[in-house]
Amino acid sequence: MTGVPDLPAQGQAPRAGPSTTIWALAPPVSLRSLLSPTLLALAGLLGACSPSPAPQGGPPGGAAMPPMPVNVVQVSPRKVPIVVEAVGTLEGLKEVEVRARIAGTLQQQLFREGEPVQAGAVLYRIDRAPFEITLDAARANVAQAEARVEQSRRESARLAGLIADKMITQREADEAGSSVKITEAALLAARAQEREAALNLGYADVTAPITGVVQRSIRSVGAYVSPAIEGGVLATIVQTNPIRVRFALTEPEAAQVRKGRAHEVRLQLPNGEFAKEVGKLDFAASVVDPRLGTVQLRAELNNASGAWMPGQFVRVQVSTGEQDAFLVPQAAVMSGEQGRFVWLIGADGKATARPVQAGAWLGNDWVIYSGLAPGERVITSNLIKLRPGAPVQVAPAAPAAASQASR
């Protein structure tokens, strides 16, 4: 075909011509030579992604792991207090309302709210003028009654002489004697009114009925007060030293308290420790609350420092005696589905879980009543890593601790 060059046969050189395009054919390339670099690259990538073989430095033949080092404490029985704990509410030894006993206007308040007051101290003053007037009127009535008594007595004495001479009738003499008694009775009534007026005047000064801390004033100066208005309550005084704590125990706990001889009561401080001041039980109910199954108790404690306040919720610890028990650090006692337990080092050097009956805390230790034997070693470290039957060994003492022990 015109314009289309003839391709040379394989292995022949092309012919040149003015209108001929020269074709240069490369030597023949096989398919295997084209795919070999690609396959090599893919093999390299797959080799990089494949997991590396396990290191050969581990224990040969699945050898056992070395024992885990742990700290231990060797337990022995000792005398510990028998305690029962509960949540209680503080209340004042006495709590008295200060009331207005007469009607009138408050003129003065003679105390500062929240400060202690002594029994008999004047707290308020009510307007005295109306009661002074009433007292003066009552005294005047007494004077008039006394004058009538004197007059009736003189009249009765005069008529007594006339009746002897039969100058008057017996009826007139009897009427004179009755007049004396009537006037004497009127004198007694007038004197009673005088005492009542004096008493009301004394009520104008409202005094503290007990020694304690006076609370917020309910009525302010200038207010009209009366026994008929809200009962006449003006303020409340609470005696906070000594102070009482009221709490409840379950039936078994209450029975344990009743069995004990010494009932020492302590309150827990804000820092978690129990106060050194010891109180005594002063009331224990003789019935069980059928709704809650608890028994109400109350104790009285010294509060000279004023640290405790009525209405405050506190934790109460009641000590009823002593018994033999073990003390284990708090961190060593763990909780499971079956209750509390500890880890021990057995005779074969392996970890063993032991259920225990734990009581209350004593300082930084937990009181264990049963489940341990004297001389057993309780594990106190690496507790989360332990498994039943795991080999353990006692960790060597720290150099500082060893040097202190040698001293």
**pLDDT tens-digit series, residues 54-108:** 444 444 545 567 889 999 999 999 988 888 889 999 999 999 999 999 999 999 9
**Burial class of 261 by CB neighbour count within 10 A (0 to 12, 13 to 18, 19+):** exposed
CATH fold, domain 95-127+204-238, is OB fold (Dihydrolipoamide Acetyltransferase, E2P) (2.40.50)
pLDDT value at 189 more than 90: yes
The DSSP H or E segment spanning 47 is helix 31-49
How many angstroms separate the CA atoms of 407 and 404, rounded? 5
Q: How many angstroms separate the CA atoms of 79 and 321, rounded?
A: 10
Can you tell me which residue has the tokens 């207005």? 100
Average pLDDT over residues 284-291: 90
Per-residue pLDDT at 121 = 96
- What percentage of the chain has pLDDT greater than the value 70? 81
Task: Tell me how far apart the alpha carbons of residues 165 and 128 are, in angstroms, rounded to a whole number.
Answer: 57
Structure tokens at 24: 């240069």
Query: Cα-atom radius of gyration of the chain, to the nearest Å?
Result: 52
Domain 129-202: give its CATH code.
1.10.287.470
Name the pLDDT band for 43 (thresholds 50, 70, 90).
very low
267's CB contacts (< 8 A; 6+ apart) are 245, 274, 275, 277, 279, 301, 308, 314, 315, 316, 317
* CA pair distance 234, 225, nearest whole angstrom: 8
Mean pLDDT (whole number) for 222-237: 94
d(CA 119, CA 209) in angstroms, rounded, equals 5
Digit-coded pLDDT (tens) for 299-323: 999 998 888 889 999 999 888 878 8
> How many CB atoms lie under 10 A from the CB of residue 297?
25
How far CA 58 is from CA of 50, 53, 123, 385, in Å, comes to: 21, 13, 88, 21
What are the angstrom distances between the C-alpha of 217 and each of 36, 109, 203, 228, 275? 102, 9, 18, 18, 33
Cα separation, 361 vs 381, in Å, equals 19
pLDDT at 3 over 70: no
- How many C-beta atoms surround the C-beta of residue 55 within 10 A? 6
Q: What pLDDT shows up at residue 102?
A: 96
Q: What is the mean pLDDT of the chain?
A: 81
pLDDT of residue 403: 42
CA atoms within 13 A on the CB side of 392: 28
Contacts of 76 (CB under 8 A, 6+ apart): 326, 374, 375
Q: Are 85 and 274 spatial neighbours (Cβ–Cβ below 8 Å)? A: no
Please, where in the chain does CATH 2.40.50.100 lie?
95-127+204-238
Q: What is the predicted pLDDT for the residue at 120?
A: 94
Q: Rounded distance, CA 29 to CA 377, Å?
A: 82
Q: CATH 1.10.287.470 spans which residues of the chain?
A: 129-202
- Residue 182: CB atoms within 10 A of its CB come to 13
* β-strand pairing of 392-394 with 68-70: parallel
